[in-house]
Structure formats: C-alpha cells, structure tokens
Copies of this chain bind each other. A is one copy, B any other.
C-alpha cells in the first residue's frame, strides 16, 4: 500500500527517537518498550507507537522494539543512511559559531548520522579561502557550481535578514530543497521546498513558563476562559 504524506510534526519527532536509541548500549539493552522510549523523550508511548506505525514500523506486542533494527529504520526513513551534504551561507558571528559547533558535533555524532558539513559561502572577499573548523569559505558567486559538485542537499542560512530571500532563491534554483534558516525573516518558497526556522525566541518563550516557582505555575494553569 502507498501511504499519505506524513505530517511534519511526526517527522520532527523522529530525530528525537533516533537520538535516544543512539545512546543505548545494544549489548545490554537490545529491546526498548514504547513506555521507556516515552520516558526518555517526553512523548507519550501512544504517540510514539502511532508515529512509528505511520512508517509501517511496529513493535512486538508486550515486548517492544528491537533497538538496533529501529535505529536502522529511522535512519532509512530520515535518509540518514547515506551521506547528506550540508552547506552554510553567511560566515558572520553566527555562521562561524555554527561551523565550529557543527565540527564538534561531527566528531561525536554527525558523521555517524549521515550529515556532513561540506562548504561555507560569503560575499566578503576577506573571508574567501579561509578555513573555519572543517570547511572552506567560497564566494557566493560559486554557489550554483558547488551545490552541484559537492551535492549539497541542505543549506543553513546565517545571512542578514535582508539577504535571506535572495540567497534562498538562488539555492532553490540550483536544486536545494531543504533549509535551516537563522535569519529572523519569513521566507517564501515554492512547493516541495522545506524551510525550518531556528527560532530561539520560541524556546525562550516556553522556558518563561518554567522560570517561576512551580507552585505559581500550578495555580496559574487554572484559568477560566474569557472567550465564551
């Protein structure tokens, strides 16, 4: 049977499952229940079973999932079972920080997981040719050529807000379909192209909920609606 398109929220949870599974020593714990996976991800066991069943992945009733098989399935579903080459545009403070962060992660986990940082691009001539962490900085003008040559599948945008749309359009024209955008701006994309916004503000806002005393939180969750 062919399945319908999987909702984005489900896809976004898969890396979290994979992360937890990757941390498990299979020799000591070859099987994981949806309950345990729930404990370690903060997602309900029912939701986890539902998410995985969307990809035709089912655990053994009353036993759980085979950790190493489930890991393999998730890598395959996420296309992380082969190398996914990543580029970055905009080598300012954030771009440089990201490249160094990416290099640290690559040593730990990225290389295992299929993501590979391959190139950075900038307009500033003084930055061209520099190496930052594992990658070289190329001129933006060479982007179309290098997207093809290096098979860049995901582009990280750490450019100023005003430049983001134009850079994205140029990447899309060269065939890139997936972006992680750090520029605080809404981007317009054609169908079939995916942009994730790395929005720290949303994370800070949900943290605000936890920033006061727990007693206070509990009291304040009891709010009567003013909408009816």
CB distance from A16 to the nearest CB of B (A): 6
Q: Which of B70, B98, B105, B220 contacts A227 (CB 8 A)?
A: B70
Which residue on chain B has the smallest CB distance to residue A191? B214
Do A77 and B223 touch across chains, with their CB atoms under 8 A apart?
yes
Which residues in chain A, 36-55, are within 8 Å of chain B measured between CB atoms? Answer: 42-44, 54-55
Contact check: which of B16, B102, B208, B227 meets A154 at CB < 8 Å?
A: B208
A208 touches B94 (CB 8 A): no
Scan A90-113; emit 1 where CB is below 8 A from any B CB, else 0: 001110111011101100111001
A61 to B101, alpha carbons, bound, how many Å?
48
- Bound CA–CA A213/B65 (angstroms): 29
Contact B69 A227 (CB under 8 A): yes
Given A101-B184, A177-B210; A73-B18 close (CB under 8 Å): no
* With contact pairs A97-B94, A227-B66 given, residues A208 and B80 touching in the complex (Cβ less than 8 Å): yes
Which residues of chain B come closer than 8 Å to A178, judged between CB atoms?
207-208, 210-211
Which chain B residues border A217 with CB–CB below 8 Å? 5
Count of this chain's copies in the oligomeric assembly:
2
Q: How far is the CA of A172 from the CA of B81 in the complex (A)?
A: 40
Pair A221/B97 contact, Cβ less than 8 Å:
no
- Specify which of B9, B84, B109 is in contact with A208 (CB 8 Å cutoff): B84
Partner of A207, one of B180, B210, B222: B180
B69 and A105 form a contact (CB under 8 A): no
A223 contacts which chain B residues (CB < 8 A)?
55-57, 73, 76-77
- Give me 14 A-to-B residue pairs in the complex whose CB atoms sit less than 8 angstroms apart, sorted by A's number: A2-B218, A7-B44, A11-B210, A15-B202, A55-B221, A57-B225, A57-B227, A77-B223, A78-B205, A84-B208, A104-B184, A115-B208, A177-B213, A194-B207
Contacts A96-B97, A154-B204 aside, 18 further interface pairs with beta carbons under 8 A come to A2-B222, A5-B217, A8-B42, A14-B205, A15-B202, A54-B221, A56-B221, A57-B223, A70-B227, A72-B226, A73-B225, A73-B227, A77-B221, A79-B209, A79-B212, A101-B200, A180-B203, A180-B207
